[in-house]
Amino acid sequence: MAEAGTLHAAFIDELRDTYDAEKQLTKALPKLAKASSNPKLRQAFESHLQETQGQIARLEKVFASLDEKVRGKHCDGIAGIIEEGKSIMEEDFDETTMDACLIAAGQRAEHYEMAAYGTLVAWAQAMGHTEAAKLLQQTLDEEKAADRKLSGLAEGGINQGAADAAHSDDEDPEPATVGAAAKKTPTSKAKSDNRR
Chain positions contacting Fe ion, by CB under 5 A: 22, 52, 55, 113, 143
CB 72 within 8 Å of CB 92: no
| CB neighbourhood size of 143 (10 A) | 23
Give the shortest CB-48-to-Fe ion separation in angstroms.
6
For Fe ion, the closer of residues 17 and 143 by Cβ is 143
| CB neighbourhood size of 8 (10 A) | 17
For Fe ion, the closer of residues 17 and 113 by Cβ is 113
Give the shortest CB-109-to-Fe ion separation in angstroms.
6
Side-chain-side CA neighbours of 51 within 13 Å: the count stands at: 18
For Fe ion, the closer of residues 17 and 22 by Cβ is 22
**At CA 7, angle to CA 22 and CA 72, rounded to 5?**
25
Give the shortest CB-14-to-Fe ion separation in angstroms.
14
For Fe ion, the closer of residues 21 and 35 by Cβ is 21
Give the shortest CB-9-to-Fe ion separation in angstroms.
23
